[in-house]
Amino acid sequence: MTAPMRSDCVVVPVVLGPRSYDIAIGRGVISTLGTRIAALRPGAKAFIVTDQNVAHHAMPAAEAALKRAGVPTGQMVVPPGEASKSYRVFEQVCEAILNAQIERDDLVIALGGGVIGDLAGFAAAVVRRGLDYVQVPTTLLAQVDSSVGGKTAIDSGHGKNLIGAFHQPILVVADTALLDTLPKREFRAGYAELVKYGLLGDTAFFAWLEAHWREIFAESSSGNPAREQAVAVACRAKAAIVARDERETGERAFLNFGHTFGHALEAGCGFSDRLLHGEAIAIGMVLALEFSAREGLLPLSEAERVRRHFAEVGLPTSPSDISGSLPGIDRMMELIGQDKKVKRGMLTFILARAIGSVVIETGVDAHQVRDFLSEKLAER
């Protein structure tokens, strides 16, 4: 399962029987992309899906690595941003893969952030009834969350990630050097997903992030041990959860902590640059903690501790931090009602008992959610 690797590379296995794969993490590990693919799928062609921003700074290294290993490639470059997770762009990607004569023994490479991983992964799930694909995440958010676990999707007018499939990659190559090219705002947005792993199951990791977040954000041409450690911790946590609950029938739902509120806010902003995904999740996690406190599950001081940390980092913590208008409470509740955890019309939330301990709450009273969110929206 494991191809030759750099000596300074951390490998995290995702154990799923015949669908098992490795996450290779390290600075410069993209240089091994070709040899890893050639070892996993000898003789295969690869079709790279990326966006215009990533193509500029990551495509040359990816193509060079594939060429050195003798892997023939095609490519498609799509516009950056959440708007590319649409029916229209999805169709274009599928047609481009077919036009490149990618066969069932070939593979797709998702080179980019969460949008590209979701879009290319979903195309791979359905073209020719299923192609192998490789995730090469280029954002912090994608490296610690969306590239691992096989969730692929595009958005609908009804909400985020509502059209998709579970389709595991055969390899994830997370080059931490690529994060040096990220705008600070995007890096901060990805950091919110790092914090999530501390909140849902690792109190010590959250405390470590409080103490070391500046080191994670620091740029260094010679490496960043704190950043690489944080990425590895998050990947190990997600790999363990996915291995136990691949299709989100139980524990994997914990990974959606903050996402019910967050996805509704994203949709309310039109999936635009007004609110990046990680920013929405930061607000969503604070709201989930505050709602948990209102429900008597944890002290409000715990929610305040998390809010202070996000604010210190520079992340938004409340709907009042979002520029421009938001839909009214009726529309926001409609968006929450489209959440994938809703069962037979009953709201399900991931709520917290403490930092490091979350619980799935089914049958949450929609009136209580409405009252709570109305108050938060009124603070704008």
Catalytic residues: 129, 151, 193, 238, 248, 252, 256, 259, 263, 277
Say which amino acid occupies 306: V
- The torsion angles phi and psi of 12, rounded to 5 degrees, stand at -110, 120
Contact 170, 41 (CB under 8 A): yes
Where does 34-126 show beta strands of DSSP type E? 46-51, 73-78, 107-112
Question: Which of 84, 95, 18, 86 lies closest to 51 in space, CA to CA?
Answer: 84
Q: What pairing do the DSSP bridges indicate for beta strands 159-166 and 171-175? A: unpaired
Residue 123 CB partners (closer than 8 Å, separation 6+): 49, 90, 93, 94, 97, 108
Q: What pairing do the DSSP bridges indicate for beta strands 159-166 and 151-156? A: antiparallel
Residue 244: burial class (beta carbons within 10 Å; 0-12, 13-18, 19+) = exposed
User: What is the chain's length?
Assistant: 380
Q: What pairing do the DSSP bridges indicate for beta strands 107-112 and 151-156? A: unpaired
Distance CA(374)–CA(241), nearest Å, equals: 34
Distance CA(171)–CA(125), nearest Å, equals: 15
Residue 218: burial class (beta carbons within 10 Å; 0-12, 13-18, 19+) = exposed
